[in-house]
Amino acid sequence: MHVDADADLHDVFRILYDGDEWASDNDDEDAGDEQQLGEGVQTATSTEGSIHSRRYSKARFVTALDALVAPSSTPTVPAKRRIYAVPQPTSSVISSTAPLPADLNGKTYAPYSPLPLLARVRTFPPTFPSSLPGLSPMTLALAGWTYAHGGVVCASSSTCEKWGLGGLESLPSRSRDEVVRRLASSLPQRHTLECGWRTRASPATLPTQLRRLAHPLVTASLEPLAAALQARSIGPEPPRWACPVSASQLATLAAGLERYAAAVHGATLAIDPLAAALALFGWYPYDPVAPANHVAEQEHGHGHAQGHGHAAHTDIVACRLCLRRVGLWTFTATAASSDEERKFDVEGEHQ
């Protein structure tokens, strides 16, 4: 095509697309490029190629990607040798040596989060009737209900009405079962239409996720807890106790924890099957003047050989999930003289 014809086409293009609605972000670059369009076909072609390369080149794409993925990265690093920093993984479990978060918030709508579920369950007092099937504190918490001001209230919405279970236990057994069944089936509908709990409640698998999060059954978490229980809570007169795990399995667990302590910490403290059972079912040494929801760092590891640090001896054990506290001395042979069959059930004593 003739050079003059090309220039005419460029003029027509400039007239059609020179309005404000076609303005680009790089007005300065476009202005400089337009000055070169009249210099000839070759100059115009090379200029268009340079504009295209600057706007859509691989280098600009990588630079934009750097700004999104790693804003602090410097553009001086060669593109082929660039390595993006891997985000630090967050812990998926809370070990026995780490405390549970102190600011558990159960008032937010978080149906898939285990820690808010724990906060909702903890609002129910020990006197709350737990013998009603379908209306246990865990069932109510899964449906988004908490306990406050003498009744059951919504966890996250103030528009849902408060209700209670007063008088149910005084009803005849058959009538009570029917009332409980109807109440249990209407838990979602008791929320208002604008409340999220009416549409989506917590899944039934969330309590299992909570136990795996707050009480991981891994050796690195069980060994410090069992060692702390052995040194602080098991005295010369051990309590009578019962466990759903067989004696041979507990002996194997205790031996495995001892081997782990010897290999990792160089510890020589022998772990009793009772200490292994207490650790397996989530019991912690309880001291009124010290945190009871974890064992301190000085209570495990190399502290085994030095008498387990400076932690005080205690005959009370506590669960950091249900907050149940039990005195082991009440299950000793001396205290249980009036009831020879009374035993500390490491599983059943949880509330």
In a domain, 275, yes or no: yes
Identify the domain boundary among 38, 58, 81: 81
In a domain, 96, yes or no: no
Q: Is residue 331 located within the same domain as residue 276?
A: yes
Q: How far is CA 1 from CA 35, 36, 38, in A?
A: 21, 19, 15
Q: Is residue 335 located within the same domain as residue 226?
A: yes
Q: Is residue 223 located within the same domain as residue 317?
A: yes
Burial of 139 per CB tally in 10 Å (0-12, 13-18, 19+): middle
DSSP for residue 17: T
In a domain, 107, yes or no: no
In a domain, 87, yes or no: no
How confident is the model over 164-184, as pLDDT tens digits? 887 777 888 888 888 889 999
- pLDDT score at 175: 87
Q: Is residue 59 located within the same domain as residue 138?
A: no
- pLDDT score at 305: 38
- pLDDT score at 94: 92
Q: How many domains does the chain have?
A: 3
Q: Is residue 161 located within the same domain as residue 128?
A: yes
Q: Is residue 175 located within the same domain as residue 139?
A: yes
Per mean pLDDT, which range of 60-64, 190-194, 228-232, 331-335 is the poorest?
Answer: 60-64
How confident is the model over 48-75, as pLDDT tens digits? 444 444 555 667 777 776 676 665 555 5
Q: Is residue 185 located within the same domain as residue 259?
A: no
In a domain, 101, yes or no: no
What average pLDDT does range 251-271 have in this prediction?
A: 89
Strands (E), the chain: 145-148, 151-154, 241-242, 283-285, 316-319, 325-327, 344-345
- pLDDT score at 138: 93
Question: Structure pTM?
Answer: 0.69
In the predicted structure, residue 331 carries a pLDDT above the cut 70: yes
- pLDDT score at 37: 46
- pLDDT score at 19: 57
Under a CB-based contact definition with an 8 Å cutoff, are residues 324 and 314 in contact? no
In a domain, 76, yes or no: yes
Residue 12 belongs to what domain range?
A: 3-81
First to last CA, the chain: 90
| Count of other CB atoms within 10 angstroms of residue 174 | 8
Q: Is residue 205 located within the same domain as residue 241?
A: no
Q: How far is CA 307 from CA 220, 267, 269, 297, in A?
A: 20, 11, 9, 14
**Alpha-carbon span 52 to 60, nearest angstrom:** 11
Please state, for a pLDDT cut of 90, what percent of the chain lies above it: 41
In the predicted structure, residue 16 carries a pLDDT above the cut 90: no
Per mean pLDDT, which range of 17-21, 216-220, 255-259 is the poorest?
Answer: 17-21
- pLDDT score at 312: 81
